[in-house]
Structure 1
Amino acid sequence: MTGDNDRLAFLASPRGAASLAAWLADPLPSTYPLALPPLATGDLLAALLADGLDPIVLDLTDRLPERVRAMGWSVVKVVPDGYQPLRIDERTTYGWNERRLGPGTRCPDPHPLP
Structure 2
Amino acid sequence: EIDYVKYRSAFPLLNSATDISDGLIVDASHIASASSVAMELDTKTLSSNAQFNDVLTAFDEFEDALTAVLTGGEDHVLLGTTSEPEHIDGFIRIGTVVPGQGIYVDGKRQETESGYQHRW
Same fold flag (TM > 0.5)? no
Q: TM-score, normalised by structure 1?
A: 0.23
Instruction: Choose between structure 1 and 2: higher strand proportion.
Output: 2
Greater relative contact order: 1 or 2 (C-alpha under 8 angstroms, separation 6 or more)?
2
Larger Rg: 1
Structure 2 length as normaliser, TM-score? 0.22
